[in-house]
């Protein structure tokens, strides 16, 4: 170990670009983790969503494209197009005290944006499904088909 620490400054001097890249990546990982720690939205796994459904009866909002929603969605999820998603909607504001879970097809975009918008609108218990409906399906949990 002492040999490693003794040679480290020499390695850094010989590989400045690698050392700088390592430092940048380390800082980026730390910033992302701190952001997740203090985020007011929480990511759920399919198993976590199952527990939440069984325990608290959350409002489920699916932001997938209509064709994807009709192919498969989490049972009980309401379909809303992202272009029509409005946290200030009268029906939605009635659910401010309920847990709200937003999801999309693959968990890469709309669900996290929508969750952040809900937090800004004053919702307290906001979650998003990590991996989206595809993760739910891959966990071999039941899916509904059609538009209901």
> Taking the complete model, does pTM exceed 0.85, yes or no?
no
What CATH code is assigned to 41-138? 3.40.250.10
pLDDT of residue 136: 96
Which sign does the torsion angle of CA 84, 90, 96, 100 carry?
negative
Residue 11 to residue 8: CA distance in whole angstroms: 5
pLDDT of residue 93: 76
Q: For the segment 69-109, what is each residue's pLDDT rounded down to a tens digit?
A: 999 999 999 999 888 888 888 777 778 888 999 999 998 87
Domain boundaries defined on the chain: 2-37, 41-138
Give the pairing type, strands 59-62 and 100-103: parallel
Question: Could you tell me the pLDDT band of residue 36, with boundaries at 50, 70 and 90?
Answer: low
């Amino acid at each position: 170990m002492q040999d490693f620490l003794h040679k480290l400054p020499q390695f850094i001097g010989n590989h400045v670009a690698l050392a700088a890249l390592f430092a940048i990546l380390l800082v980026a990982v730390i910033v992302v983790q701190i952001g997740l720690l203090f985020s007011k939205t929480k990511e759920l796994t399919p198993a976590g969503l199952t527990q939440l459904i069984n325990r608290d009866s959350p409002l489920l909002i699916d932001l997938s494209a209509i064709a994807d929603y009709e192919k498969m969605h989490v049972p009980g999820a309401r379909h809303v197009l992202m272009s029509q998603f409005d946290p200030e909607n009268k029906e939605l504001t009635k659910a401010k005290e309920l847990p709200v879970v937003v999801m999309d097809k693959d968990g890469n975009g709309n669900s996290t944006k929508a969750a952040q918008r809900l937090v800004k609108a004053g919702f307290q218990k906001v979650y998003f499904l990590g991996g989206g409906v595809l993760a739910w399906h891959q966990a071999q949990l039941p899916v509904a088909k059609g538009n209901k």
